[in-house]
Structure 1
Amino acid sequence: MTRHHDIWMIGDIQGCCHALEDLLKHPDLSADRNRELWFAGDIVNRGPRSLETVRHIMGMRKKAVTVLGNHDLNLLAVAAGVRKPGKSDTIADILKAPDADEIITWLRHRPLAHYAHGHLLVHAGVLAKWDVDKTLALAGEVEAALRSPNWKRTLEKMYGNEPTDWRDDLGNNKRLRVIINALTRIRMCNKKGHMEFSYKNAPDDSTNGDLIPWFDVANRATVDHTIVFGHWSTLGLMIRPDAICLDTGCVWGGKLTALRLHDHKLVQVSCKQAQKP
């Protein structure tokens, strides 16, 4: 296993391969030959070089851990023919690439959650009811479905905001949807811990009303671990003992962020080919 001294955790790239290349050339990262990189999902889409980004990370093999984000799942859904590309999608180059099948297969085999050294890596967040073992087990259910011969059928059932809360007796389709929504889409919850998807800005007591960030829901079962996530560019860089957000809006003209796991050494590079919000 890679020592925790050698792990760098990286926020949402979203096809900004130039920023990824700049980040990996930074002296603090390039000097570490044994480094392992944890990518917090959304490695593709919206930015200009999604194909090069995914190929770059695939080439790292076991030196990279990549959890799936909502934009990565969107690519899988479009590839499966269950969703049409959106106007702002920039994944056509992947779908037309000669190695498209290999890329899609590789993505289907990425985890939705990864745990090591007291840190749980997910794209968006976790429900308050779930401890680390439960989160990993439920992520494993989705992972098994995406890796199965019927993976396209799984993606057909993925979209929708309901149910907003977890119950152990949920039927298969609702069950998978809640898991995917929590791990790849969650930002805010009501005080009962139920997911609410319409609010996408930074947390603000004056506008949220009864909504609170998922990581501040009372009695969260993962509070004694560090949850590392992206997905929330309006929240931006947040480093707490129990929660770390690494999405610093690279694709929107912000920065691409890397944080070393053991000492929170911070490295950021500017995005030079940003999209307009």
Structure 2
Amino acid sequence: MATYAIGDIQGCLASFQKLLRQIAFDPDTDRLWLVGDLVNRGPDSLGVLRFVKSLGPSCVTVLGNHDLHLLAIHAGIASLHKKDTLQPILDAPDCEELLHWLRHQPLLHRESLYVLVHAGILPQWSIEQAMELAHEVEGALRSDFYQDPLAALYRSRVCKWREDLSIYERLGFTTNVLTRMRVCSSKGRIDLSFKGEPKYSPTGFSPWYLLPPDCPRTETIIFGHWSALGELVHEKHIGIDGGCIWGKELMAFCLDDRSIYRVACSS
């Protein structure tokens, strides 16, 4: 039995299945942890959603920003962008079933000494606090009346942490951190516009994983979201967005022996 964390798939079903063959994944004995962004930009987002959902308890996935974008489009909160490849999902006969399943996925998953998240965790937060804040967003998304909080968190431009944020501000900021953050300041401010290599971080900001956390952490954080960063293997931080959608690679990290597997992507 082995557990593998896999980077941003973004609709690249063929590359995903090729990687699963390479690691000889067996859903009866092995487990997958997916860092989110299952959909968008790639050629078969519908196929990815159906396949991941079919894996049942052998697979854990957290939500990424593209997954939330799909939910927002379906809810009438956002519109399709020129490069989106989400229409086949919206037109599918099982669309409602798939998106109901998607919005019930977590934003953060902790197990043993590992934490799975799409983008990162604010250095000012303990793991316990990050989990509490993630659960608050998850509860809002799983509600029968999820459209209003989804609109608030999807459109949020709150970029500075404060303990006295209002409920919708807190939902928005938490979502921005967990699904969109790449760099932040020592004061808890994030820059959502930056997408470049870490060495080009804006003045006053650093890659979030380089800033010492306010509370000591024993867990290792596994994340994706940052294709310009690519592979990162530190003692406490594992970055595995290989830029598959840009024709680079899709990566798998084995939690048991910390080895990396990869396949070349053609997207």
With the length of structure 2 as denominator, give the TM-score of the two structures. 0.96
Take 1:259 and 1:195, find their aligned partners in 2: how far apart are those partners?
A: 27
Deviation, structure 1 residue 160? 4.3
1:34 corresponds in structure 2 to: 29
Aligned-CA RMSD value: 1.5
Residues 1:253 and 2:253 are matched in the alignment: no
Task: Identify the range of structure 1 (130-139 vs 162-171) with the bigger mean alpha-carbon deviation.
Answer: 162-171
Q: What residue number does 2:92 align with?
A: 97
SS at match of 2:132: helix
Instruction: Please say if 1:244 is aligned against 2:238.
Output: yes
Aligned to 1:14: 10
User: Is the Cα contact below 8 Å between 1:9 and 1:258 reproduced in 2?
Assistant: yes
How many positions carry a matched residue from both structures? Answer: 267
* Closer, same or farther: CA 31–53 of 1 in aligned 2, 3 Å: closer
Amino acid in structure 1 at the alignment position of 2:131? L
Please give the alpha-carbon distance, in whole angstroms, between the structure 2 residues aligned to 1:76 and 1:160: 13
Q: Unaligned regions of 5+ residues in structure 2, if any?
A: none
1:250 Cα deviation (Å)? 0.2
Question: Relative to 1, partners in 2 of residues 1:39 and 1:222: Cα closer, same or farther, differing over 3 Å?
Answer: farther
Equivalent residue letter for 1:270: A
Say whether the 8 Å CA contact 2:127–2:217 is kept in structure 1.
Answer: no
Gap change, CA 1:151 and 1:258, over 3 Å in 2: same
What are the superposed Cα offsets for residues 117-157 of structure 1, whole Å, 9 maximum, x if unpaired?
21110000011121111111110001000000111111211
Equivalent residues of 1:132, 1:222 under 8 A apart: no
Structure 1, 98-107 or 195-204: larger mean CA deviation: 195-204
Matched-pair identity in %: 41
TM value normalised by structure 1: 0.92
SS of 2:238 mapped into structure 1: strand
1:78-227 matched pairs, under 5 angstroms: 78-160=73-155, 162-204=157-199, 208-221=202-215, 223-227=217-221
Looking at structure 1, the residues matched to 139 and 203 of structure 2 have their Cα atoms a distance apart, in angstroms, of 38
Stretches of structure 1 that go unaligned for 5 or more consecutive residues are: none
2:39 matches 1:44: yes
Deviations 1:225-273 (A, max 9, x none): 211000000000001111111100000001110010021121111112x
